[in-house]
Amino acid sequence: MQHLIRIDPTSSMPKYRQILEGVVGSIESGRLVQGQQLPSISELSEWQRVAKVTVAKAYEELRQRGVISSRHGKGFYVASGEARNALNVLLLFDTLNAYKETLFYALKGTLPADTRLSLFFYHYDKALFESHIANSMGKYNYYVVMPHFNEDVSRLLGRIPPEKLIIIDKDVPQLAGDYGAVFQDFAADISAALQSALHLLGRYRKLTLLLSSNRFQFIPEGTLQGFRQFCGAAGIECAIVEKFSADIVRPGEAYLLFADQDLVNFVKHLHTTGLAAGKDVGLISYDDTPLKEILEGGITVISTDFEEMGRLAGNMMLQKTREKIANRSRLILRKSL
Protein backbone atom coordinates (compact mmCIF):
# COMPACT_ATOMS: atom_id res chain seq x y z
CA MET A 1 0.00 0.00 0.00
CA GLN A 2 2.90 2.37 0.68
CA HIS A 3 3.86 2.53 -2.99
CA LEU A 4 0.36 3.64 -4.07
CA ILE A 5 0.45 6.95 -2.18
CA ARG A 6 3.82 8.65 -2.37
CA ILE A 7 5.01 12.09 -1.31
CA ASP A 8 7.64 13.92 -3.35
CA PRO A 9 9.31 16.38 -0.95
CA THR A 10 10.81 18.33 -3.87
CA SER A 11 7.44 18.96 -5.53
CA SER A 12 5.79 22.38 -5.36
CA MET A 13 2.40 20.63 -5.01
CA PRO A 14 1.13 20.73 -1.40
CA LYS A 15 1.63 17.41 0.38
CA TYR A 16 -2.06 16.96 1.18
CA ARG A 17 -2.80 17.40 -2.54
CA GLN A 18 -0.20 14.78 -3.44
CA ILE A 19 -1.94 12.34 -1.10
CA LEU A 20 -5.32 13.18 -2.62
CA GLU A 21 -4.04 12.79 -6.19
CA GLY A 22 -2.27 9.56 -5.23
CA VAL A 23 -5.52 8.02 -4.01
CA VAL A 24 -7.47 9.27 -7.04
CA GLY A 25 -4.81 8.07 -9.49
CA SER A 26 -4.69 4.64 -7.87
CA ILE A 27 -8.46 4.29 -8.12
CA GLU A 28 -8.48 5.37 -11.77
CA SER A 29 -5.72 2.87 -12.64
CA GLY A 30 -7.50 0.05 -10.80
CA ARG A 31 -4.79 -0.37 -8.17
CA LEU A 32 -7.36 0.63 -5.54
CA VAL A 33 -10.87 -0.79 -5.89
CA GLN A 34 -14.22 -0.08 -4.34
CA GLY A 35 -14.42 -1.40 -0.76
CA GLN A 36 -10.66 -1.60 -0.28
CA GLN A 37 -9.34 -0.23 3.00
CA LEU A 38 -6.88 2.66 2.98
CA PRO A 39 -4.01 3.07 5.45
CA SER A 40 -5.01 4.87 8.62
CA ILE A 41 -4.05 8.49 9.17
CA SER A 42 -1.33 7.40 11.60
CA GLU A 43 0.06 4.75 9.25
CA LEU A 44 0.24 7.03 6.21
CA SER A 45 1.69 9.84 8.33
CA GLU A 46 4.48 7.51 9.52
CA TRP A 47 5.15 5.93 6.11
CA GLN A 48 5.42 9.23 4.26
CA ARG A 49 6.85 11.28 7.13
CA VAL A 50 4.18 13.96 7.00
CA ALA A 51 2.05 15.45 9.74
CA LYS A 52 -1.15 13.65 10.65
CA VAL A 53 -3.09 16.85 10.03
CA THR A 54 -1.86 16.76 6.39
CA VAL A 55 -3.18 13.23 5.87
CA ALA A 56 -6.42 14.10 7.65
CA LYS A 57 -6.96 17.11 5.37
CA ALA A 58 -6.54 14.96 2.24
CA TYR A 59 -8.83 12.23 3.54
CA GLU A 60 -11.51 14.73 4.53
CA GLU A 61 -11.57 16.30 1.07
CA LEU A 62 -11.79 12.84 -0.50
CA ARG A 63 -14.61 11.94 1.87
CA GLN A 64 -16.54 15.13 1.01
CA ARG A 65 -16.16 14.32 -2.69
CA GLY A 66 -17.56 10.85 -2.10
CA VAL A 67 -14.36 9.12 -3.18
CA ILE A 68 -13.76 7.45 0.21
CA SER A 69 -15.92 6.74 3.23
CA SER A 70 -15.11 6.38 6.90
CA ARG A 71 -16.41 3.72 9.24
CA HIS A 72 -16.30 4.54 12.88
CA GLY A 73 -13.55 2.59 14.58
CA LYS A 74 -12.62 0.74 11.39
CA GLY A 75 -10.92 3.33 9.17
CA PHE A 76 -11.25 4.60 5.62
CA TYR A 77 -12.42 2.70 2.53
CA VAL A 78 -12.69 3.36 -1.20
CA ALA A 79 -16.33 4.34 -1.69
CA SER A 80 -16.45 4.56 -5.49
CA GLY A 81 -14.59 3.30 -8.51
CA GLU A 82 -15.26 6.67 -10.17
CA ALA A 83 -12.83 9.01 -8.46
CA ARG A 84 -13.01 12.15 -10.53
CA ASN A 85 -15.51 14.91 -10.16
CA ALA A 86 -15.79 17.63 -12.80
CA LEU A 87 -12.57 18.53 -14.58
CA ASN A 88 -10.92 21.67 -13.23
CA VAL A 89 -8.71 23.24 -15.91
CA LEU A 90 -6.42 26.27 -15.87
CA LEU A 91 -5.98 28.10 -19.20
CA LEU A 92 -3.01 30.46 -19.30
CA PHE A 93 -2.98 32.62 -22.46
CA ASP A 94 -0.85 35.60 -23.42
CA THR A 95 -3.73 37.92 -24.33
CA LEU A 96 -7.21 37.80 -25.82
CA ASN A 97 -7.91 38.20 -29.52
CA ALA A 98 -10.24 36.73 -32.10
CA TYR A 99 -8.37 33.51 -32.88
CA LYS A 100 -7.91 32.72 -29.18
CA GLU A 101 -11.66 33.02 -28.74
CA THR A 102 -12.05 30.44 -31.50
CA LEU A 103 -9.56 28.15 -29.74
CA PHE A 104 -11.20 28.65 -26.34
CA TYR A 105 -14.71 27.80 -27.50
CA ALA A 106 -13.50 24.75 -29.44
CA LEU A 107 -11.72 23.49 -26.32
CA LYS A 108 -14.74 24.22 -24.14
CA GLY A 109 -17.07 22.47 -26.57
CA THR A 110 -14.94 19.32 -26.53
CA LEU A 111 -15.00 18.95 -22.73
CA PRO A 112 -17.94 17.87 -20.55
CA ALA A 113 -20.45 20.59 -19.74
CA ASP A 114 -19.55 20.57 -16.05
CA THR A 115 -15.84 21.27 -16.69
CA ARG A 116 -14.56 24.30 -14.77
CA LEU A 117 -12.33 26.46 -16.99
CA SER A 118 -10.31 29.22 -15.32
CA LEU A 119 -8.83 31.61 -17.92
CA PHE A 120 -5.90 33.89 -17.04
CA PHE A 121 -3.73 36.23 -19.13
CA TYR A 122 -0.10 37.20 -18.58
CA HIS A 123 0.26 39.84 -21.33
CA TYR A 124 3.82 38.79 -22.26
CA ASP A 125 4.96 39.60 -18.70
CA LYS A 126 7.30 36.80 -17.62
CA ALA A 127 6.95 37.65 -13.92
CA LEU A 128 3.16 37.50 -14.18
CA PHE A 129 3.43 34.22 -16.13
CA GLU A 130 5.54 32.75 -13.31
CA SER A 131 3.15 34.08 -10.66
CA HIS A 132 0.11 32.48 -12.30
CA ILE A 133 1.89 29.12 -12.42
CA ALA A 134 3.14 29.33 -8.82
CA ASN A 135 -0.25 30.34 -7.44
CA SER A 136 -2.11 27.60 -9.30
CA MET A 137 -0.04 24.62 -8.22
CA GLY A 138 -2.14 21.72 -6.94
CA LYS A 139 -5.46 23.39 -7.74
CA TYR A 140 -6.23 21.96 -11.20
CA ASN A 141 -6.50 18.64 -13.01
CA TYR A 142 -4.90 20.14 -16.13
CA TYR A 143 -2.85 23.20 -17.05
CA VAL A 144 -3.28 24.36 -20.65
CA VAL A 145 -0.54 26.89 -21.32
CA MET A 146 0.29 29.08 -24.33
CA PRO A 147 3.97 30.01 -23.74
CA HIS A 148 4.37 32.96 -26.08
CA PHE A 149 7.94 33.96 -25.32
CA ASN A 150 10.98 34.01 -27.58
CA GLU A 151 13.08 32.79 -24.66
CA ASP A 152 13.39 29.59 -22.67
CA VAL A 153 10.62 29.24 -20.07
CA SER A 154 11.13 25.51 -19.48
CA ARG A 155 12.17 26.10 -15.86
CA LEU A 156 8.81 27.71 -15.10
CA LEU A 157 6.77 25.13 -16.99
CA GLY A 158 8.77 22.38 -15.31
CA ARG A 159 6.98 23.17 -12.05
CA ILE A 160 3.79 21.72 -13.53
CA PRO A 161 3.54 17.91 -13.33
CA PRO A 162 4.03 16.77 -16.95
CA GLU A 163 0.98 14.46 -16.83
CA LYS A 164 -1.16 17.56 -16.13
CA LEU A 165 0.47 19.90 -18.67
CA ILE A 166 -0.76 20.59 -22.21
CA ILE A 167 1.17 23.21 -24.17
CA ILE A 168 -0.64 24.87 -27.06
CA ASP A 169 0.40 26.92 -30.09
CA LYS A 170 4.14 27.15 -29.33
CA ASP A 171 6.20 24.22 -28.10
CA VAL A 172 9.11 24.56 -25.66
CA PRO A 173 11.77 22.14 -26.96
CA GLN A 174 13.96 22.62 -23.88
CA LEU A 175 11.23 21.25 -21.61
CA ALA A 176 11.81 17.68 -20.49
CA GLY A 177 9.07 15.28 -19.53
CA ASP A 178 6.13 13.44 -21.02
CA TYR A 179 3.75 16.38 -21.42
CA GLY A 180 1.09 16.97 -24.07
CA ALA A 181 1.41 19.62 -26.79
CA VAL A 182 -0.48 20.90 -29.82
CA PHE A 183 1.81 23.38 -31.51
CA GLN A 184 2.78 25.15 -34.71
CA ASP A 185 6.11 24.67 -36.48
CA PHE A 186 6.35 28.36 -37.30
CA ALA A 187 9.50 28.27 -39.45
CA ALA A 188 8.45 25.36 -41.63
CA ASP A 189 4.83 26.49 -41.89
CA ILE A 190 5.42 30.05 -43.13
CA SER A 191 8.04 28.91 -45.60
CA ALA A 192 5.71 26.24 -47.03
CA ALA A 193 2.72 28.60 -47.10
CA LEU A 194 4.61 31.31 -49.00
CA GLN A 195 6.04 28.72 -51.38
CA SER A 196 2.49 27.65 -52.22
CA ALA A 197 1.71 31.28 -53.12
CA LEU A 198 4.82 31.77 -55.24
CA HIS A 199 2.84 31.82 -58.48
CA LEU A 200 0.93 34.86 -57.18
CA LEU A 201 3.79 36.54 -55.35
CA GLY A 202 5.67 36.55 -58.65
CA ARG A 203 3.34 39.34 -59.78
CA TYR A 204 4.94 41.68 -57.26
CA ARG A 205 8.48 43.03 -57.23
CA LYS A 206 8.94 42.86 -53.45
CA LEU A 207 7.50 41.16 -50.34
CA THR A 208 7.58 43.05 -47.05
CA LEU A 209 6.92 41.46 -43.67
CA LEU A 210 5.47 44.01 -41.27
CA LEU A 211 6.22 43.53 -37.60
CA SER A 212 4.17 45.38 -35.02
CA SER A 213 4.86 48.01 -32.40
CA ASN A 214 1.90 46.57 -30.48
CA ARG A 215 3.42 44.85 -27.44
CA PHE A 216 0.39 42.54 -27.32
CA GLN A 217 1.30 40.99 -30.68
CA PHE A 218 3.56 37.95 -30.37
CA ILE A 219 5.72 37.09 -33.35
CA PRO A 220 7.66 33.84 -32.90
CA GLU A 221 11.33 33.93 -33.84
CA GLY A 222 10.69 30.81 -35.94
CA THR A 223 8.36 32.78 -38.18
CA LEU A 224 11.08 35.29 -39.03
CA GLN A 225 13.53 32.45 -39.68
CA GLY A 226 11.06 30.76 -42.02
CA PHE A 227 10.38 34.03 -43.84
CA ARG A 228 14.08 34.58 -44.46
CA GLN A 229 14.52 30.98 -45.61
CA PHE A 230 11.70 31.34 -48.14
CA CYS A 231 13.01 34.63 -49.52
CA GLY A 232 16.50 33.20 -49.93
CA ALA A 233 15.29 30.06 -51.67
CA ALA A 234 12.70 31.76 -53.88
CA GLY A 235 14.98 34.57 -55.00
CA ILE A 236 12.36 37.22 -54.18
CA GLU A 237 13.34 40.65 -52.90
CA CYS A 238 12.16 40.81 -49.30
CA ALA A 239 12.22 43.21 -46.39
CA ILE A 240 11.23 43.26 -42.73
CA VAL A 241 10.00 46.55 -41.26
CA GLU A 242 9.26 47.29 -37.62
CA LYS A 243 5.89 49.05 -37.84
CA PHE A 244 3.26 50.32 -40.22
CA SER A 245 3.52 53.70 -41.88
CA ALA A 246 1.80 54.95 -45.00
CA ASP A 247 5.05 55.50 -46.91
CA ILE A 248 5.87 51.76 -47.00
CA VAL A 249 2.76 51.00 -49.11
CA ARG A 250 3.74 51.07 -52.77
CA PRO A 251 1.91 49.78 -55.87
CA GLY A 252 3.36 46.58 -57.25
CA GLU A 253 4.52 45.25 -53.89
CA ALA A 254 3.14 42.64 -51.48
CA TYR A 255 2.85 42.73 -47.70
CA LEU A 256 2.58 40.20 -44.87
CA LEU A 257 0.97 41.61 -41.71
CA PHE A 258 0.69 40.15 -38.21
CA ALA A 259 -1.31 42.56 -36.06
CA ASP A 260 -5.02 43.06 -36.75
CA GLN A 261 -4.69 46.78 -36.01
CA ASP A 262 -2.01 47.05 -38.69
CA LEU A 263 -4.37 45.29 -41.09
CA VAL A 264 -7.08 47.85 -40.34
CA ASN A 265 -4.65 50.76 -40.84
CA PHE A 266 -3.38 49.20 -44.07
CA VAL A 267 -6.88 48.79 -45.52
CA LYS A 268 -7.86 52.32 -44.48
CA HIS A 269 -4.78 53.63 -46.30
CA LEU A 270 -5.76 51.68 -49.43
CA HIS A 271 -9.18 53.33 -49.33
CA THR A 272 -7.58 56.75 -48.98
CA THR A 273 -5.22 56.27 -51.91
CA GLY A 274 -7.58 54.31 -54.15
CA LEU A 275 -5.27 51.29 -54.28
CA ALA A 276 -6.91 47.85 -54.44
CA ALA A 277 -5.71 44.77 -52.59
CA GLY A 278 -5.09 41.89 -54.99
CA LYS A 279 -4.69 44.26 -57.90
CA ASP A 280 -2.34 47.12 -57.03
CA VAL A 281 -0.81 45.59 -53.90
CA GLY A 282 -0.70 42.07 -52.50
CA LEU A 283 -1.87 41.52 -48.93
CA ILE A 284 -1.44 38.51 -46.64
CA SER A 285 -2.44 38.43 -42.98
CA TYR A 286 -1.47 36.00 -40.23
CA ASP A 287 -4.04 33.96 -38.25
CA ASP A 288 -7.51 33.61 -39.73
CA THR A 289 -10.65 35.13 -38.19
CA PRO A 290 -14.23 35.33 -39.48
CA LEU A 291 -13.75 39.03 -40.24
CA LYS A 292 -10.88 38.32 -42.63
CA GLU A 293 -13.15 36.11 -44.72
CA ILE A 294 -15.21 39.15 -45.73
CA LEU A 295 -12.91 42.18 -45.33
CA GLU A 296 -12.03 43.65 -48.74
CA GLY A 297 -13.77 40.70 -50.37
CA GLY A 298 -11.51 38.27 -48.49
CA ILE A 299 -8.02 38.58 -47.00
CA THR A 300 -5.49 35.89 -47.86
CA VAL A 301 -4.15 34.38 -44.63
CA ILE A 302 -1.52 32.03 -43.30
CA SER A 303 -3.20 30.26 -40.42
CA THR A 304 -3.39 27.10 -38.41
CA ASP A 305 -6.79 25.58 -37.58
CA PHE A 306 -7.45 26.93 -34.11
CA GLU A 307 -10.68 24.98 -33.75
CA GLU A 308 -8.72 21.79 -34.36
CA MET A 309 -6.07 22.90 -31.87
CA GLY A 310 -8.73 23.36 -29.20
CA ARG A 311 -10.36 20.02 -29.97
CA LEU A 312 -7.05 18.14 -29.87
CA ALA A 313 -6.12 19.64 -26.51
CA GLY A 314 -9.57 18.81 -25.13
CA ASN A 315 -9.37 15.22 -26.35
CA MET A 316 -6.01 14.74 -24.63
CA MET A 317 -7.72 15.54 -21.34
CA LEU A 318 -10.71 13.32 -22.04
CA GLN A 319 -8.62 10.37 -23.21
CA LYS A 320 -5.78 10.94 -20.73
CA THR A 321 -3.17 10.85 -23.49
CA ARG A 322 0.05 12.82 -23.80
CA GLU A 323 0.97 13.40 -27.42
CA LYS A 324 3.01 16.06 -29.19
CA ILE A 325 1.07 17.10 -32.28
CA ALA A 326 2.19 19.60 -34.92
CA ASN A 327 -0.96 21.48 -35.91
CA ARG A 328 0.04 22.58 -39.39
CA SER A 329 -0.59 26.02 -40.83
CA ARG A 330 -1.62 26.59 -44.43
CA LEU A 331 -2.23 29.36 -46.91
CA ILE A 332 -5.88 30.26 -47.48
CA LEU A 333 -6.06 32.12 -50.77
CA ARG A 334 -8.57 34.95 -51.08
CA LYS A 335 -9.01 38.06 -53.15
CA SER A 336 -6.30 40.22 -51.52
CA LEU A 337 -3.38 38.42 -53.18
pLDDT of residue 213: 67
pLDDT band at 3 (very low <50, low <70, confident <90, very high): low
pLDDT band at 325 (very low <50, low <70, confident <90, very high): very high
Could you say which of 45, 78, 111 is where a domain stops? 78
Distance set, CA 8 to CA 83, 169, 224, 259 (Å): 22, 31, 42, 44
**For residue 240, which amino acid is it?**
I
Could you say which of 28, 55, 78 is where a domain stops? 78
* Cα gap 161→164, rounded to integer Å: 5
Say if 336 falls within a structural domain: no
pLDDT in tens, 161-198: 999 999 999 999 999 999 999 999 999 999 999 999 99
Regarding whether 286 and 221 lie in a shared domain, the answer is yes
pLDDT of residue 278: 96
pLDDT of residue 7: 86
Regarding whether 219 and 138 lie in a shared domain, the answer is no
Total domain count, the chain: 3
Say if 148 falls within a structural domain: yes
**Beta-carbon contacts of residue 314 (< 8 Å; ≥ 6 apart):** 106, 107, 108, 109, 110, 111
Regarding whether 234 and 179 lie in a shared domain, the answer is no
Range of the domain at 321: 88-184+306-329
Lowest mean pLDDT, pick from 9-13, 51-55, 90-94, 250-254: 9-13
Lowest mean pLDDT, pick from 114-118, 207-211, 332-336: 114-118
Say if 251 falls within a structural domain: yes
pTM of the model: 0.76
pLDDT greater at residue 135 or residue 1: 135
pLDDT higher than 60, residue 83: no
**Widest distance between CA atoms in the chain:** 86
Question: CATH number for the domain including 322?
Answer: 3.40.50.2300
Average pLDDT, the chain: 91
